[in-house]
Chains A and B, each alone.
Chain A
Amino acid sequence: MNATERQRRRVGTALALPAGTLLAVLLLLPSIGVLSFSLTDYQFGMPGFDWVGLANYAKLFTDPDIRRSLFNTLLYVVMVAPLSIFAALALAILIEGEGRLGSVFQTIYFLPITATLVAMATAWEVALHPTFGMVNAALSAFGFAKVRFLSDPDTALATLAVIGVWKILGYNTLLFLAGLATIDRDLYEAAAIDGADGGWGRFTLVTWPQLAPVTLFVTVITLIRCFSEFETVAVLTNGGPSGATDMILFTLYQQAFRYFDIGVASALAVAFLLFVALLSIVQVSLFERGGAA
């Protein structure tokens, strides 16, 4: 090894050291810390703690409040994910066929991506308000009864799901549009020669198979985002009415930073991490293959 190469190695270590140290201190070691906390009954502010094995994990299945929260999370994912994925795909295809007018719709659909969700959630709340909201005014104009969207336990979670779809739809549309742009035009001509002239034929023969990696990518991102829903719960419902909108991150937040039950909160964090990590492995392996294109 000559002098310049040795020096280059030294510089490489020096340039990577700040990032490496901070990753370890701020992310990796605390995450290992959470794993250890999850095996204890540690409470913030208490002098000591005991090791309790997997008792905190058992609680995730036995505690009725936590079970309901996990069930609500699944229900929310089931309501938001399929709709926001397939509607986005349909919108992307419709926009692509529109030319210049399409980019106007594109810009409108993208607006929720940058908007501050806390602000938009309160705007939704006003719009859905039983006495002065735009939505209920429209409902009564068409002869429907007014709905107490957020304060009725039967509709609250579904209402948050609608806001969830509203938030994520434009982003998914953007990803599908990026994917559509990478499809080779020649494939459509080849499909036409094979007799696939209509829209449906073109879709099943070319668009759908060509978009498969993008669809997988969108699905992973959407699932992670749905699973991580926090703002609308924290701002609009506080998990209520009577626990109807409690979801995993809100429960985790309350256990850790309201009740200071670090043991249970850590077990929830580990469960959350496992789910996100599994999905992320799919995502990273897509990245590593150089993206979908």
Chain B
Amino acid sequence: MTRRDLSRLATRTVLVLVAIITLMPFVEMLAVSFASKSEVYTGAVLPMPSLAATIANYGYAIREVPLLRYLANGAFVCGMIVLLQVLIAAPAGYALAKLPFRGRPILFGAVIVALMIPLQVPAIPLYLAIAYAGLLNSYTALILPFVVSAFGIFLFRQFFVSYPDEVLEAARLDGFSELAIVWRLMLPAARPAVMAFAMISIIVHWNDLYWPLVVVTKTSMMTPPIGLMEFRSSGDSTGHIGALMAGGVIATAPLVACFLILQRHLVRGLSFGVRT
């Protein structure tokens, strides 16, 4: 073996080892979700999968946990958040990029400051306001704090700034209103930015635990993370480890599948800070 082969072997060994560690919890989650209770508790490294146990585990997660309800809540909340974020951030990004209005420096300053504030800071007054308004355990409470995204405004502004002014002038001569320019020219041109932004937003809010934990206590309003956490900490889960893991698979699968299909877009979005 030459030195080159040796270094290649070493490289691949490292890469494979890290891959095994990365995949380990995924494998454990899948394996246990396919296995019967007795298989799991005998402590086999990889319990034998069984069809009957699989049906029992996934059935329990869907019917009893109730995971379908959590998935529906999560999908609705994420969908509304992304929709409202784009509806609110895109016009503001356009105004910041292309329209000289008086409050522009103030708004841009506010966006930069807002970028630095983590949710946990305004969460306390927002919780108090929502509690006094009697809106705990509502979709409004889950959605409201996120409808305006400073990151979204900033991203759209950066994208729109480089849009050629001549095209805008031509569109205006053709009788486009400024709003029509945003929806019919800018947003379609910014599709990569919109895609990347939407995916990041969905990943963040689908997986968020902190805010739902603050405003939701009723099972009927839970999103997948808080619902799973509730199931895990209930005494019920000790007898149903397989169902708990099945719940994890169901909660995780949509985004992981999405990621595998749209990997290129997502990678571009996530590395936005490195190559703008």
Which positions in A face B, CB cutoff 8 Å? 5, 8-13, 15-16, 18-20, 22-24, 26-31, 33-34, 37, 44, 87, 90-91, 94-95, 97-98, 101, 105, 107-120, 122-124, 126-127, 131-135, 137-138, 141, 166, 169-171, 174-175, 177-179, 181-182, 214, 217, 221, 224, 228, 230-231, 234-235, 249, 252-253, 256-257, 262, 265-266, 269-270, 272-273, 276-277, 280-281, 283-284, 286-287, 290-293
Contact = CB atoms under 8 A, between A and B. Distances in A.
Contacts of B22: 108-109, 111-112, 166, 169-170
B95 interface: yes
Given A22-B88, A115-B256, A116-B206, A179 B274 contact: yes
Interface stretch (B50-58, B75-83, B97-105, B188-196): B97-105
B260 A107 contact: yes
A262 B128 CA distance: 10
Nearest to A9: B101
Binding site secondary structure of chain A: helix
A91 B96 CA distance: 39
Given A26-B147, A108-B23, A132-B40, A113 B121 contact: no
B6 to A, nearest CB: 13
Nearest to B152: A19
Sorted nearest first, the 8 A-B pairs with minimum C-beta distance are: A12-B101, A12-B99, A119-B248, A19-B92, A30-B122, A178-B271, A291-B276, A280-B116
A37 B128 CA distance: 12
Contacts of A120: 25-26, 29, 248, 252
B40 A91 contact: no
Interface centre among A15, A18, A22, A228 (most CB of B within 10 A): A15
Binding site secondary structure of chain B: helix
Contact of A124 (B25, B102, B115, B258): B25
A116 B249 CA distance: 9
Given A119-B247, A122-B248, A273 B148 contact: no
B105 to A, nearest CB: 11
Interface residues of B, number: 104
Nearest to A214: B274
Given A16-B96, A131-B41, A249-B210, A126 B124 contact: no
Contacts of A111: 22-23, 26, 256, 259
A38 to B, nearest CB: 10
B92 A253 contact: no
A13 B116 contact: no
B213 A280 contact: no
Contacts of B185: none
A15 B92 CA distance: 6
Contact of A117 (B104, B126, B209, B272): B209
B117 interface: yes
B108 to A, nearest CB: 10
Contacts of A11: 95, 99, 101, 178-179
A98 to B, nearest CB: 7
B133 interface: no
B118 A273 contact: yes
Contact of B145 (A26, A181, A283): A26
Nearest to B274: A178
A116 B43 contact: no
7 contacts: A11-B99, A12-B95, A98-B11, A119-B225, A123-B25, A235-B232, A253-B213
B245 interface: yes
B129 to A, nearest CB: 8
A174 B271 contact: yes
B263 interface: yes
Contacts of B122: 26-27, 30-31, 33-34
Contacts of B232: 122, 235
